[in-house]
Amino acid sequence: MDFSIASILLLDGVTNGAVYALLGLATVLVFTVTRVIFIPQGEFVAYGALTLAMMQTGKTPGTVWLLLCLAVVASLMELVERWQHHGNAVRALKSAFKTLVFPALIALVSIWAAPQQFALWVQAALSVAIVAAFGPLVYRVAYQSLEAATPLVLLIVSVGVHFAMTGLGLLFFGAEGFRNPAFWDERFPLGPVTLSGQTVIIFGVSLALIVLLWLYFEKSLRGKALRATAVNRTGARLMGISTHASGQLTFLMAALIGALSGLLIGPTTTVFYDSGFLIGLKGFVAAVVAGLSSYPGALVGALFVGIVEAFGAFWASAFKEVIVFTLILPILLVRSLRSGHSDEEH
Amino acid sequence: MKKNLPILLLALAVPVIALLPLPDFWIAQLNYIGLYALVSLGLVLLTGIGGLTSFGQAAFVGIGAYTTAWLTLNTGMSPWLTLFVGLAFTAISAVIVGIITLRMSGHYLPLATIAWGLSLYYLMGNLDALGKYDGLLGLKSLSMGAIDIGQGRLFFVLCWAILLAGAVALTHLLDSRPGRAIRSLKGGTQMAEAMGISTFRYKVTIFLIAALFASVAGWLLAHFQRTVNPSAFGLKMGIEYLFMTVVGGVGYVWGAIVGAGLVKLLDDWLQVALPALIGTSGSYEVIIFGVVLVLVLKYLPDGLWSVVARKFPKPQRPVNWQNAADLPVRNKPAMGQNVLVVDKIRKQFGGLTAVNDISFDIAAGQIVGLIGPNGAGKSTTFNLITGVLSKTSGRVTFCGEDVSSLPSREISRKGMARTFQHVKMIADMTVLENVAMGAYTRGSSGVISAMLRTNQVEEQRLMKEAQRQLERIGMGAYLHEQAGNLAMGPQRLMEIARALCCDPALLLLDEPAAGLRHKEKQALAAVLRQLQSEGMSILLVEHDMDLVMDVCDQLVVMEFGTLLTRGTPAEVQANPAVRAAYLGTEH
């Protein structure tokens, strides 16, 4: 290995790491607010990339139909539960309508726009909108009524959701893989390495998202409300913060981050319906580095995971996944030694 | 022996089924169900009973399978030996993963097992020695002498015999001293630790047992299929094992078998039906599995077997311990000697000083009351003395020994027993079993003797002690009641009986009279005095002033974390500072 190979690997690792960082942040975000360990985070990545790929071919992406189905199920659940709770049909219908209207709108616009072959960025924006709309619906359908359950039950639910979403991905996208066109074809020579436009976009978007998240949680009232929910659910409720709304908002952000990550990696690798899982899990390893609680920690962890993966792929390409996932054991060991005593679960 | 009836029936059914003229296909199905059930049996213990979970069981199956496959193919070792080599490998890896993750909160184990399952899968799929993704082929069938028992009906008998033996061993384990400790893990560690139980050790133990069950299943699977390849040991399979367990009933030993059977049959059917319905091939069954999993957790969180279990309530435990010997009793300090010396203990949470240099002592045979307005730091003081919280500074001496830096389970072993302000018990165990947990440190039988039922002498002694303590406190009528069904008052009394079971030299009671009726309070006061007359020392946190003034010899009054005053009840009542603290000052 010489300096130029090392720097190419480093750039590669940091680029992937930037995407893992986004996913790690989403994982930390979801866990702190809802205590859900969100295994299906990676599915949003695959959904995002593949939705755009379908748009590119001029077909209506299968995710649109899935979104409609899910929206109908969610609004029916909303209707029944509200009606049982309040016994007021008008209020129940109203909230069912509220659940249905945005996803339905997005779906209708997509159905209209898909065959028109709009510019890449329009299709990208639509893809993000479609996949982001899944977030609150998934929370509504799978998690909302189990809000009070233990993290363990929520984790098993996550696994169920992951199964269902992977299977549905196969159903709607097929087993074929897709590679999206790059958003920016420019290339910048930089010493021994060449910086591609897509890499610049990955860095730019990741950085921008991280700053935005930071601003949101530090400066805005809603962000502070989410943080309050993360610290103490009962307390937050007593302050008038709805845990349902917080959960749905969190999942919206998680799905949005997932879809964006999907667009970012779409041009760098071929994405299959089940590719998201491994990508998401690497974000996960990053989040575990941070103890599922620190945003800067997740960022550092993600860059670390990305770099280890790049160098692992160079030295022992067949064992790169083995290296990345075995990494979690020494990380956990360090964490467990540092914390010193067992923390009681709540 | 009514309890063993279902096991006997199943044990009889196995050879009968083997003799029936069933098509071979169904025998093969039953073989797979038996293998899967063996794995989910381990998950019942780990997840349903212990409240931990693992997605990596398939990886342990893989270790068992690959070990025997590689060794029998490359060294010609007998499969009957490689079984134990596989178990040893499995044990080592399980203990490493367990020790690393189980000190931290519960969700790190499943996360670690996901990563671990994935990396093992890729390792198996990429190692040349293990045949990469093609795996290893041409394994021998299991045989005994000249008889091939590795296929068909004989394998069915072998596999189900092992499964039933495992199920029986597990039911035995759950109804024993270590079993009660394992059942306490789910509700948090504080109570178990206060009973002298090392919760960490038991967490590692059940993770290990579950892994060993999986390893045996892997060994059987390898020789039954006569080939191994990574796809059977991937994360998807690991998740499917958990799925079987949850659907069957995660808290029930028999749920594992029901779940494995159901999922296997459903899986086979869906793999044919769904692609036909959709028109292309692919593993669409995961959609149904995912949705069913979420639905089960939502609407039937205890699984299918819970419906059956509700129809057949557990038979009452037969009382067979009248003639058991009494448990040995520890030497207690002589009357008037110092039992507990608390010297300037202090606890700071960040900038808040919750307990500010509190000192007092308790002599043997004394009842000392710790009183003060709400938020005075009484319960924190309790937790500092019993080792539940670590002290910022100060010393606690118990029976002449410095216990300042010991964890609560060590302190409890030395003879300091406590109750909790918010009752901590195992709601689905009987009162008797809950109380027997208090005598945990007075027994010594372990997991293996529990599984083999060679622990019965000790079990009877523990039960006898539990009954004696319950009767002593006037709860003799509730022995076989489920603890969760008790009203608040009796629950508190049960906690006192549990603490007494530990044969303590010092008893710490955190608000024992809260929720008791007047008559019950009088009875409690009588019990406390009786204990005192037997030489017991008691530290009492209580808000009921009638009770406190009635039974206590000495009072320690706290306010805002500091010691306000101490003295006899009469002195304290006369103290203007105490009146001010409780009622406010006159102006």
Q: Which of A258, A62, A38 has its CA nearest to residue A175?
A: A62
Taking the domains of chain B in order of start, what are their residue ranges?
2-311, 338-415+504-583
Give the Cα separation of B38 and B35 in Å (integer). Answer: 5
Q: Which amino acid is at A39?
A: I
Give the Cα separation of B328 and B323 in Å (integer). Answer: 15
Locate A32 and state its tokens.
């702190």
How far away is chain A from the Cα of B293, in angstroms, using its nearest Cα?
6
Residue B43 has pLDDT above 60, yes or no: yes
* Contact yes or no for B430/B379 (Cβ under 8 A): no
Residue A345 has pLDDT above 80, yes or no: no
Q: Which amino acid is at A110?
A: S
**B89 interfacial to chain A (CB closer than 8 Å):** no
- Dihedral sign, Cα of residue A219, residue A221, residue A222, residue A223: positive
Using a CB-CB distance cutoff of 8 angstroms, which residues of chain A are in contact with residue B242? 156, 159
Using a CB-CB distance cutoff of 8 angstroms, which residues of chain B are in contact with residue A175? 282
Reported as a single tens digit per residue, the pLDDT across B363-374 is 888 899 998 888
**B26 interfacial to chain A (CB closer than 8 Å):** no
Using a CB-CB distance cutoff of 8 angstroms, which residues of chain A are in contact with residue B189? 342, 344
Find the range with the poorest average confidence among A176-180, B311-315, B525-529: B311-315
Phi then psi dihedrals of residue A310, to 5 deg = -65, -45
Reported as a single tens digit per residue, the pLDDT across B60-87 is 999 999 999 999 988 888 889 999 999 9
Provide the CATH topology of domain B2-311: ABC transporter involved in vitamin B12 uptake, BtuC (1.10.3470)
Reported as a single tens digit per residue, the pLDDT across B321-350 is 888 888 888 888 888 788 899 999 988 887
* pLDDT score of B586: 61
Neighbours of B97 (CB within 10 A): 25
Q: Which residue has the higher pLDDT, B530 or B278?
A: B530
**A83 interfacial to chain B (CB closer than 8 Å):** no
Reported as a single tens digit per residue, the pLDDT across A39-90 is 899 999 999 999 999 888 888 888 899 999 999 999 999 888 888 887 788 8
Residue B279 has pLDDT above 90, yes or no: no
Q: At what angle do helices A62-86 and A89-113 cross, to 10 degrees?
A: 170
**B92 interfacial to chain A (CB closer than 8 Å):** no
Reported as a single tens digit per residue, the pLDDT across A101-129 is 888 899 898 888 888 888 888 899 999 99
Nearest to B200 among A146, A165, A342 (CB): A342
Nearest to A281 among B110, B114, B284 (CB): B114
Find the range with the poorest average confidence among A80-84, A185-189, B60-64, B571-575: A185-189
> Strand B367-371 relative to strand B554-559: parallel, antiparallel, unpaired?
parallel
Give the Cα separation of B472 and B530 in Å (integer). Answer: 10
**B74 interfacial to chain A (CB closer than 8 Å):** no
* pLDDT score of B428: 86
Using a CB-CB distance cutoff of 8 angstroms, which residues of chain B are in contact with residue A171? 278, 282, 284, 287
Provide the CATH topology of domain B338-415+504-583: Rossmann fold (3.40.50)
* pLDDT score of A339: 63
Locate A187 and state its tokens.
């290339």
- Tell me what the mean pLDDT of segment A267-275 comes to: 86
Find the range with the poorest average confidence among A180-189, A208-217, A311-320, B189-198: A180-189
Give the Cα separation of B82 and B64 in Å (integer). Answer: 9
Reported as a single tens digit per residue, the pLDDT across B135-148 is 888 788 887 777 88
Q: Which amino acid is at B420?
A: F
Using a CB-CB distance cutoff of 8 angstroms, which residues of chain B are in contact with residue A142? 294
Interface of B with A in 112-131 (CB under 8 A): 112, 114-116, 118-119, 122-123, 126
Per-chain mean pLDDT for chain B: 87
**A71 interfacial to chain B (CB closer than 8 Å):** no
Give the Cα separation of A333 and B215 in Å (integer). Answer: 25
* pLDDT score of B562: 86
Residue A1: band (very low, low, confident or very high) from pLDDT cuts 50, 70, 90: low
**A162 interfacial to chain B (CB closer than 8 Å):** yes
Nearest to B287 among A167, A284, A342 (CB): A167
Question: Which residue has tokens 């249905």?
Answer: A100
Using a CB-CB distance cutoff of 8 angstroms, which residues of chain A are in contact with residue B115? 281, 285, 325-329
Give the Cα separation of B60 and B215 in Å (integer). Answer: 5
How far away is chain A from the Cα of B55, in angstroms, using its nearest Cα?
10
* pLDDT score of A344: 40
- Tell me what the mean pLDDT of segment A144-170 comes to: 86
**A154 interfacial to chain B (CB closer than 8 Å):** no
Locate B289 and state its tokens.
């599995």
* pLDDT score of B150: 77
* Contact yes or no for B346/B357 (Cβ under 8 A): yes
- Where does chain A have alpha helices with state H? 3-34, 41-56, 62-86, 89-113, 120-138, 151-173, 197-219, 221-231, 233-238, 243-265, 275-289, 295-315, 320-326, 328-339
Residue B582 has pLDDT above 80, yes or no: no
Answer whether B101 sits within 8 Å of A319, measured CB to CB. no
- Tell me what the mean pLDDT of segment B284-302 comes to: 85
Answer whether B111 sits within 8 Å of A37, measured CB to CB. yes
Answer whether A322 sits within 8 Å of B122, measured CB to CB. yes
Residue A154 has pLDDT above 60, yes or no: yes
Residue B1 has pLDDT above 60, yes or no: no
Residue B533: band (very low, low, confident or very high) from pLDDT cuts 50, 70, 90: confident
Interface with chain A: mutation pick from B297, B408, B410, highest number of A CBs within 10 Å: B297
**B282 interfacial to chain A (CB closer than 8 Å):** yes
- Dihedral sign, Cα of residue A300, residue A304, residue A307, residue A309: negative
**A119 interfacial to chain B (CB closer than 8 Å):** no
